Chains A and B, each alone.
Chain A
Amino acid sequence: MPSREIAGKVVEVDAEGFLCNPDEWSKEIAEEIAREEGIEQLTDLHWKVIEFCRADFKARGEPPTLRRITKESGVDTKTLYTLFPKGPAKKVARIAGLGKPTGCI
């Protein structure tokens, strides 16, 4: 696995830039990955979704699907597309330091 430096910390990432180990994540890392994904500023609503995804991952062992985020986080799908454009489930998983969602096969 390649590793790279994000926000002053060396972390392991996969070929698509997803963190391999969610425990290496930090808020600073989230902010830097978000900028790479074209999100300049993480708002409270962004954080609400990120924190939901991290908690859900901790409880269930896999990044939540978009359907699950919509149903459980209280943020509707349309808003999720505004917050995390293109692929919200994938984008938020990367920012939240979780692996790539496997749901889409």
Chain B
Amino acid sequence: MKRLLVLGAGTAGTIVVNKLRRALDPEEWDITIVDQSEVHHYQPGYLFIPFGIYTRNDVLKPRRDYIPPGVKMILSRIEAIEPDQNRVRLEKDGRYLPYDFLVIATGSQPRYEEVPGLLGPEWHKSIHEFYTLEGAVALAKYLRSWEGGRLVLNISELPIKCPVAPLEFLFLADWYFHELGKRSRVELTLVTPLPGAFTKPRASQLLGNLLAEKNIHVVPEFAVESVDAEAHKIVSYDGQEVEYDLLVSVAIHMGDDVIARSGLGNDTNHVPVDKHTLLSIQYPNIFALGDAADVPTSKAGSVAHFQAEVFTENFLRYIDGLEMTASFDGHANCYIESGFGKGFLIDFNYDVEPLPGRYPLPGLGPFSLLQESAINHWGKMMFRWIYWNLLLKGKELPITTHMSMAGKWA
């Protein structure tokens, strides 16, 4: 009996066990998945919670409902990966899980402790965040009674998951305060270490224009050194200061500590892998998928999904000693909420930056690319249903794994 062990039952891990349980002979392959919590979070939904569009219940489901029969699921914290012994040590009963192949899909998490001054008496008072469920819920409560003032959204350091979410937060905030009749009493500012609104030039320019149109200020090239919570200001390494009444912080996202404890990560605890096959640089029987992997594309659910597709196709060849012919191209596909019931769609990969055009999607589309439209907003809203009902279960979606140039205006 061969053993495939998957660490992490998030987007990537769940899709992989669903696809591989169907493809691998149960007489020959034992599949086990480990996670420390029973609940699966639909992370893209956090964004909508501060504005009362989603609630806690909209983003949670039991993980077990998404793990197919024939896959063993173990709930435990992971103590360490011991790659030289081909085994993983669990906290639960000090148990060892031996493997023939290991998939690391332990994700990445925001590290607020990396910004000095952030965590303290003002946390969840004048300082908030929305990249965790608790943080998003606390911010929703706070905003309901907030009188207005200077709202500063600060990205402290990259990488972060879903790099467009901070912009979406500001677009939604603009809409939210407008609906409450408070917009004139709220100043919205994005403070970012990047030279502009986004990492890719054409999208950055377009999103920058949209921010200006909505009267959202941008302070670029600001690398925060610390937060002075008492004086309500953030201070950069080169001495700039920005004052706030409400600070929404987006801190760096790092891979799980188990990666560091096991000596498998880089400086941000992400696992170095081949960017096309996702095979570990160090070990020929370890793959890393989703946010856990160190690949130069966005950390996002769409990326985890496309990687899982490429990985499963390759894995079925790899275990038979065949060459891995499928290649991950860095494909990411993001709906961007722009407020007032509208949205954008961007689609890009390692080599092609987001371009304008139309995104063909049988039955639903076309969606407009890099252009605001109502259908894009509905695409995003519908996506939650697709995520729970099709995507996690590894079912066929009418979306190509590799980025396609069809409909794009190059």
Contact = CB atoms under 8 A, between A and B. Distances in A.
Contacts of B199: 104-105
B297 interface: yes
A86 B192 CA distance: 12
A103 B158 contact: yes
A105 B297 contact: yes
B237 interface: yes
A87 B221 contact: yes
Contact of B296 (A67, A82, A86, A103): A103
B93 interface: no
Q: Interface extent on B, as a size class? A: 20 to 34
A68 B238 CA distance: 19
B159 A78 contact: no
B237 A81 contact: yes
A6 to B, nearest CB: 22
A81 B296 contact: no
Contacts of B356: none
A27 to B, nearest CB: 26
Nearest to B252: A67
B30 interface: no
Given A78-B225, A87-B193, A71 B296 contact: no
A70 to B, nearest CB: 9
A17 interface: no
| CB-based closest 10 A-B pairs | A81-B237, A102-B296, A104-B158, A81-B238, A68-B267, A86-B221, A105-B199, A67-B267, A78-B237, A105-B296
Interface of A: 65-68, 71, 77-78, 80-82, 85-87, 102-105
Given A103-B159, A105-B297, 20 more contacts: A71-B267, A77-B223, A78-B225, A80-B237, A81-B236, A81-B237, A81-B238, A82-B238, A85-B238, A87-B193, A87-B195, A102-B296, A103-B158, A103-B296, A104-B194, A105-B158, A105-B159, A105-B163, A105-B199, A105-B200
26 contacts: A65-B267, A66-B157, A66-B223, A67-B157, A77-B225, A77-B237, A78-B225, A80-B237, A81-B223, A81-B237, A81-B238, A82-B238, A86-B238, A87-B195, A87-B221, A102-B296, A103-B158, A103-B159, A104-B158, A104-B193, A105-B158, A105-B159, A105-B199, A105-B200, A105-B296, A105-B297
Interface of B: 157-159, 163, 193-195, 199-200, 221, 223, 225, 236-238, 266-268, 296-298
